[in-house]
Structure 1
Amino acid sequence: MDLPLVQKTLDQKIQESYKKYMANELTEQVAFGLAKIGAALRTAQWRAGEQSGLTPTQIGILTTLHRLGADRVQALAGQLGVTHATASDAVAALHGKGLVEKSPDPRDGRAVLVGLTESGRRAAQDSGAYPPELLTAVARLRPDDQAGLRRSLTGIIRSLQESGLIEPQRLCVTCRFFRPNAHPGSDKPHHCAFVDAAFGDASLRFDCGDHEEADDADKARQWTRFLEATSD
């Protein structure tokens, strides 16, 4: 028996197992960290709700309408990741409080749009979309770390969207106007064909109002190209 060869093979297997363990451990720790941030956000939402007399879902609807404008209940449910029934109940409660109003959808007379009243706009502004503690924590990151985080979150959100865990989001990387790594070597490697402007990872959008979904083949090509791009 060739003992040196056996030892070498054993050492290789140990190294491979260790690398696999470290990769899994890193993945789990990142997921744990994201879960902790999610828990902190839910706590902040409940605290804000106690002060305003609104539930987290109701606050979410107000801030979503303030950010995106009037929309259907089904769309609001998708944005918040809740059932249609939950969103409908929350809208009914907000309507009763005079914070939202309903109007016919000009695109479909049978459908109804939910929009903010003046009181609803003030309530949305007072509630705030994000806890100030979270904004402070993110602001403390260096600009290049914020840009890297934005790039990483883009990948995570895209993956969750494709798996069906969250509703489709209006991401740069899934938009037909997105041109990833169109300017390689630049601090603004990407290009938006809608506004005809270059931009970097720090300007990637998670919810762009001008988003138009690319077809599946283009999205696949864009994602491959995006992964080749250097971070700014």
Structure 2
Amino acid sequence: METPKNPTAIRHRIREGLSRIAMVLRADDWNRAKLAGINPTQLSILELLEGRKGGLSVKDVALHLAVSQPTATDSIAALERKGYVEKRPIENDKRGVRVELTIEGLSALQAGGTVEGDAEQATGMLGGQEQEELLLTLVKMIRTLQERNAIPIQRMCASCRYFAPFVHADAAKPHHCNFVDAAFGQRELRIDCRDHETADPTLRAATWNAFVEG
């Protein structure tokens, strides 16, 4: 029996907490998807394709969403029938196609994002410093997962070739984005940046070390 004197491992309890939040996120996704007239998997595909010039292959879509390739294929076909995505052939690959977001798909995605979900509202109840610390914790967890190949490389600042951490003396804006040539703070760290370009492994490791030591 679990008691205050004999608790389960803290990692187990954190996982329990994350699973409860995940349930709310799934409910939020259903609500957003309804507004867009699609299902959550299709909504996730639209979100994934947003800002990706040249689109993604069906295999990459499946990999990023952790679904089977047939599931990705079926969802993409449904979106294509609605005119939300389009397929373009991959050069020098007779059978390969890349999936791209259409203007109609972007409009549907924006319609689904008009309502703030319960998870976001709960996050808003945290203090400013708590929100910043939570964001940093998520960045660290995602980085660990991607370096262990549990998930693909994410479009985070921490994995981007334009990110220069702690190069400014200003404590409020210590980082620099070389893409837009601007300083920014911890609260502005991106989880999914549309201008992201993945750094090579050596630079990515060096950038991460500078970030955590900063």
Task: Specify if TM > 0.5.
Answer: yes
In structure 2, the CA distance between the partners of 1:219 and 1:130, relative to structure 1 (3 Å rule), is farther
Q: What is the CA deviation profile of residues 120-157 of structure 1, one whole-angstrom value per residue up to 9, with x for unaligned ones? A: 33332233398522222222322222221111111000
Q: RMSD over aligned Cα, in angstroms?
A: 3.1
Matches within 5 A, 1:15-164: 25-46=9-30, 54-66=38-50, 68=52, 70-105=55-90, 111-128=96-113, 132-164=117-149
Q: What is the CA deviation profile of residues 66-113 of structure 1, one whole-angstrom value per residue up to 9, with x for unaligned ones? A: 454643322322332222222111111222333322233579776423
In structure 2, the CA distance between the partners of 1:66 and 1:191, relative to structure 1 (3 Å rule), is closer
In structure 2, the CA distance between the partners of 1:107 and 1:67, relative to structure 1 (3 Å rule), is farther
Instruction: Give 3-state SS (helix, strand or coil) of 2:150's partner.
Output: coil
Number of aligned residues: 209
Matches within 5 A, 1:178-217: 178-184=163-169, 186-217=171-202
Matched AA of 1:149: L
Unaligned stretches of 5+ residues in structure 2:
none
Question: TM-score if structure 2 supplies the norm length?
Answer: 0.80
In structure 2, the CA distance between the partners of 1:129 and 1:84, relative to structure 1 (3 Å rule), is farther
In structure 2, the CA distance between the partners of 1:106 and 1:83, relative to structure 1 (3 Å rule), is same
Matched AA of 1:29: R
Q: How far 1:202 sits from its partner (Å)?
A: 0.6
The answer as to whether partners of 1:181 and 1:228 remain within 8 angstroms in 2 is no
Q: How far 1:59 sits from its partner (Å)?
A: 1.9
Unaligned stretches of 5+ residues in structure 1:
1-20
Q: Distance in 1 between matches of 2:63 and 2:208?
A: 24
Structure number with greater Rg is 1
Higher helix share: 1
Q: Which has the higher contact order (CA 8 A, sep 6+)?
A: 2
In structure 2, the CA distance between the partners of 1:36 and 1:184, relative to structure 1 (3 Å rule), is farther
The answer as to whether partners of 1:63 and 1:129 remain within 8 angstroms in 2 is no
In structure 2, the CA distance between the partners of 1:80 and 1:131, relative to structure 1 (3 Å rule), is farther
Question: TM-score if structure 1 supplies the norm length?
Answer: 0.74
